[in-house]
């Protein structure tokens, strides 16, 4: 089985804007249930940083498209 970080990076690289929004809400927000066998919290910070960069990138793409 792939490591969670690898799985996260694969999804993020292929995601469109609407999936990025779903990922941000579902993976970065919500109640954190403590004391259970989490999938692994370590991946979440990584997802968050990359997600932030991707949200910016797609905004720049949209801005360029509007100028045409």
Partner 1 sequence: MSPPLNVYALSDAPPPVEVRGAQGEAVRALPAGSLFALAGEVDQRPDLTADAVRAHDAAVRRLAVACPALLPVRFGSIADEVDFSEREAELLEALELVRDREQMTLRVYGEPEQADRGSGTAYLESLRRSRSIPALDPLRAALAPLVRAERTEPHEGPLIASVYHLIDRGSAPEYLRALAGVALAVRVAPTGPWPAWSFAPEPLR
Q: Cα separation of 58 and 45, whole Å?
A: 20
22 part of the interface to partner 1, by CB under 8 A: yes
Taking CB under 8 A as the rule, does residue 45 contact partner 1?
A: no
From 42, 45, 52, 61, residue interacting with partner 1 (rule: CB under 8 A): 52
Rg, the chain, Cα only = 14
Q: What's the residue count for the chain? A: 68
Query: Do residues 48 and 29 make contact, with C-beta atoms less than 8 angstroms apart?
Result: no
Does residue 4 belong to the site contacting partner 1 (CB under 8 A)? yes
Report how far residue 10's alpha carbon sits from residue 3's, in angstroms, rounded to the nearest whole number: 11
The answer to the question of residue 32 lying near partner 1 (CB under 8 A) is yes
Binding site for partner 1 (CB under 8 A): 1, 4, 7-8, 11, 14-15, 18-19, 21-40, 43, 52-53, 55-56, 59-60, 63
């Amino acid at each position: 089985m792939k490591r969670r970080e690898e799985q996260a990076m694969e999804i993020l690289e292929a995601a469109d804007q609407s999936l990025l929004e779903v990922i941000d809400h579902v993976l970065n927000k919500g109640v954190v249930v403590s004391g259970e066998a989490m999938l692994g919290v370590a991946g979440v910070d990584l997802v968050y940083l990359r997600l932030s960069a991707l949200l910016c990138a797609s905004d720049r793409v949209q801005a360029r498209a509007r100028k045409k």
